[in-house]
Structure 1
Amino acid sequence: MAAALGGLTRLLLAAAAVVAVVLLVLNDDGGEPSAFRSLPPSVPVQVVVPSLGVEAGIDPVAVSADRVLDPPEDVDRVGWWDASAEPGADAGQTVLTGHAVHTGGGVLDRLPAVRPGARVDLRTDEGLMRYRVTDVETLGRDEVAARTEELFGQDRGDGRLVLVSCTEWDGAVYRSNVVVTARPLGEPRPAARL
């Protein structure tokens, strides 16, 4: 009987070790805690996309009178739409935009190459928010216009991150936009509780 219990104990310990290894493999966050959304909402100051080699400062930007969200003039910086959610908010979505330059040198030149599962970090004065890319879409201008509310609207309640830039240079203009969405990691912390 004792030998059977000893064998069962070893089997349970081995199973627990396998589960722990699987969880470590699935948690590809560099061993850091997952409470990235537990920060109070705050203005983003830096974006980092390790898989693309992007590390850029962020400036607030607004939608123009003709309903266009233009990135900052500096091609090395990313714009945060100041009417979108701050990272850490449990409502709305954080919208960032940056330049693609057909000759190279734009901060988001390589955005179409990002893949689902990639990590995106936003630094705020409150700390670090971490996101995981879920979708990468290339959309024509008409499709972006038709889906504006879905893609960038602030009535969504999941606090996701949206990155947008131009793509498909045809020799004269960019014909499309790449729209990357990412989900926040950790649990939301509503501003009302701060």
Structure 2
Amino acid sequence: MSATFLHGAAAGARSRRQAAGAALLFGCLLASTTGCNTPSANHEMQQVSPPVHGRQHAEPVRLRIPAIGVNAPIGPLQVDNRVLPPPKDYQKTGWWRDGPEPGEPGPAVIIGHLDTARGPAVFFRLSELRTHDAIFVEKADGTTAVFTTQRIERHRKDRFPTQAVYGPTSDPQLRLITCSGSYDHQAHRYRDNLIAYAVQAHPKD
């Protein structure tokens, strides 16, 4: 495992359908076109569900990370047969819709592809994030949730830190996830996941 750092920001409250104790799987495999989109080697979320919040505020619509050149749309993702699939478009990101919105208490989770057979995808440079790098999540109501980098970790897929990624937090936080590590040609997937952790940014940050 390697490490680096993140902080998160701003506003929002809403109700969210939460299945208490539901298992959540995050799929991040490379298919024949590469990327992170097949459902094998997913990560099960056991007895972990984010806190239920108030009324819906505004869903995230765009992710900007100037330090690594990310400026991409965000679309909602939902668990399908116990799997949270990444976006179909390799240049877009996806937000776990049944979790917290970016900016409300709890860990908002956004995932994206590492690469494709033709080249880099949206999170190709995620490993380049450094402590205090700014992350901006634009929302449908025109507000922006601002985060700063706290740390980055790499974990083997069979040792995915479910509690650290999806477990409830008292403050607004953000998780960005993609594939990482060496490529297993026999299994057609990367062996690891890269996870960027962020916490709420404050005006002084």
Query: Cα gap change, 1:148/1:171 in structure 2, threshold over 3 Å: closer, same or farther?
Result: closer
Equivalent-residue separation in structure 2 for 1:69 and 1:108 (angstroms): 17
Q: Which amino acid aligns with 2:183?
A: D
Report which of the two has the higher share of helix.
Answer: 1
Match of 2:94 in 1: 79
Query: Cα gap change, 1:98/1:55 in structure 2, threshold over 3 Å: closer, same or farther?
Result: same
Equivalent-residue separation in structure 1 for 2:103 and 2:199 (angstroms): 11
TM-score between both structures, scaled by the size of structure 2: 0.66
Gaps of 5+ in 2: 1-8, 14-56
Deviation at 1:38? 4.1
Deviation at 1:71? 1.1
Match of 2:147 in 1: 131
Query: Aligned ranges for residues 72-151 of structure 1 at < 5 Å?
Result: 72-89=87-104, 91-101=105-115, 103=117, 104-126=119-141, 127-144=143-160, 147-151=161-165
SS of 2:98's equivalent in the other structure is coil
Query: Aligned ranges for residues 2-21 of structure 1 at < 5 Å?
Result: none
Gaps of 5+ in 1: 1-35, 188-194
8 A Cα contact 1:75 1:106, kept in partner: yes
SS of 2:64's equivalent in the other structure is strand
Match of 1:159 in 2: 172
Q: Which has the higher contact order (CA 8 A, sep 6+)?
A: 2
Percent identity over the alignment is: 29
Q: Which amino acid aligns with 2:181?
A: E
8 A Cα contact 1:119 1:132, kept in partner: yes
From 170, 175, 194, the counterpart of 2:183: 170
The C-alpha deviation readout for 1:75-105, integer Å capped at 9, x for no partner, is 010000001111221x221100000115423
Match of 1:180 in 2: 196
Structure (1 or 2) with the larger CA radius of gyration = 1
CA RMSD of aligned residues (A): 1.8
SS of 2:124's equivalent in the other structure is coil
Deviation at 1:54? 0.4
Q: Which amino acid aligns with 1:123?
A: E
SS of 2:89's equivalent in the other structure is coil
Q: Which amino acid aligns with 2:131?
A: P
Q: Which amino acid aligns with 1:44?
A: P
TM-score between both structures, scaled by the size of structure 1: 0.70
